[in-house]
């Protein structure tokens, strides 16, 4: 499975592409950080992030896009900018029919380090080890984007099984409710 990992942001937006193999094997295909100047108009900054993401999607053809879910941060302005950057990337993926999955920072940290409260240095070290990179990805936004893609590669089979189980349960519930309604109708009829 080819996954585009995105650590959203306006000043720095991490983009990565990994290929998941058998088991937990993952290979890095590309990683970069898109930068936009803070003094640039917001709409232009968002367009810059969207353009870069769209170029990656068109070049690498990911099967899924994994974006870090934004949680409330101490700085509302930063949280809004992060959410906006993630939103334009999700929109670009949706327009191409690419499924978008959001993972929380603790899910990503737990997936790559085994500890949902790992620090950035631990995440970077594990990403470097998992991907067999000679040099640690820098800045942290690049490592985080790779961690998101790895996380999704490893969580996707479980997510898929859960979705199938939920769909099966819903279908069985509908069948049960239809039978129950028919029985009630027969008894009252």
Three-class secondary structure assignment of 59-71: HHCCCEEEEECCC
Q: How many residues comprise the chain?
A: 189
Q: Spell out the residues 6+ positions from residue 143 whose beta carbon is closer than 8 angstroms to its own.
A: 14, 120, 123, 124, 127, 128, 136, 137
- 141 classed as catalytic: yes
Residue 54 catalytic? Answer: no
Task: Mark whether 51 is an active-site residue.
Answer: no
Residue 151: both structure tokens together = 């996380």
User: From the candidates 59, 68, 119, 178, which is the catalytic residue?
Assistant: 68
Q: Which among 19, 54, 141, 177 is annotated as catalytic?
A: 141
Q: How far apart are CA 183 and CA 105, in angstroms?
A: 49
Which residue of the set 7, 58, 59, 177 is catalytic?
7
Separation CA 7–CA 85 (nearest Å): 9
What positions carry a catalytic annotation? Answer: 7, 68, 141
């Amino acid at each position: 499975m080819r996954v585009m990992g995105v650590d959203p942001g306006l000043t720095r937006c991490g983009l990565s592409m990994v290929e998941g193999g058998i088991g937990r094997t993952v290979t890095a295909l590309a990683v970069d950080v898109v930068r936009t100047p803070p003094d640039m108009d917001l709409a232009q900054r968002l367009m810059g992030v969207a353009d870069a993401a769209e170029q990656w999607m068109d070049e690498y053809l990911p099967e899924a896009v994994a974006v870090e879910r934004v949680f409330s941060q101490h700085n509302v302005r930063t949280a809004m900018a992060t959410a906006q950057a993630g939103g334009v990337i999700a929109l670009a993926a949706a327009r191409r029919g690419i499924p978008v999955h959001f993972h929380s920072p603790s899910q990503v940290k737990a997936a790559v380090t085994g500890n949902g409260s790992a620090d950035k240095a631990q995440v970077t070290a594990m990403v470097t080890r998992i991907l067999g990179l000679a040099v640690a990805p820098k800045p942290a936004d690049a490592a985080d984007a790779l961690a998101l893609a790895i996380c999704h590669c490893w969580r996707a089979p479980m997510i898929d099984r859960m979705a199938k189980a939920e769909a099966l349960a819903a279908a069985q519930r509908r069948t049960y409710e239809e039978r129950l309604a028919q029985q009630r109708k027969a008894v009252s009829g």
